[in-house]
Amino acid sequence: MPFHDTPFKDLTIFEPTLLKDERGYFFESFNQREFEAAGIHAAFVQDNQVFSTIGVLRGLHYQVFPFAQAKLIRVVQGRILDVVVDLREEKPTYGQYYSVELDDQAHRQLFVPRGFAHGYLVLSETALVAYKCDNFYSPKHESGIRFDDPTLAIDWNFDSDRLIVSEKDRSQPLFGKHLQI
């Protein structure tokens, strides 16, 4: 089965089957029937694609109700450290983070359900990240958490002097002071 559970309820790694031959490879990056059979019911309405260079850190972002989003994240080119923080107060993993490397070699994808803040750090010279969302982007409903929040203590495993972070992301509130989902 191409779906792997994580220690966080509903946060799932999808590892597609690659069909390789002398021409290259083929894989299904999404198949609604397979995802639903695995218990993932997300009606994706928007696809996004982002290009970044090494050391770019984007996040930690999320949207609040009624525009909360589930996401299916994959790396088309390069390698990233993908990080999520559980914001679901009723879950035992509330306030904890999970990280996984995603790249263009293994083609693993991360399904992030609603209720998580999401971010990633580019580990390769460049990276092209694509992700599906089950709700539309709404600037009025976006929020975030500081990537370097001491309470979360996320191990980005990267030289902090080499990080490239937007002013918007540097100005995000600390965990506990963020908007509720």
- Give catalytic residues, as residue numbers: 61, 131
What span, in angstroms and rounded, lies between the C-alpha atoms of 35 and 81? 23
End-to-end alpha carbon distance in the chain? 31
What span, in angstroms and rounded, lies between the C-alpha atoms of 104 and 100? 14
DSSP 8-state secondary structure symbol assigned to residue 174: P
Q: Calculate ∠ Cα 130-140-136, nearest 5°.
A: 35
Please count the helices (runs of H) and the strands (runs of E) in the chain. 2, 14
For 4, half-sphere exposure in the C-beta direction (CA atoms, 13 angstrom radius) is 10
What span, in angstroms and rounded, lies between the C-alpha atoms of 11 and 110? 7
> Is residue 139 classed as helix, strand or coil in its secondary structure?
helix
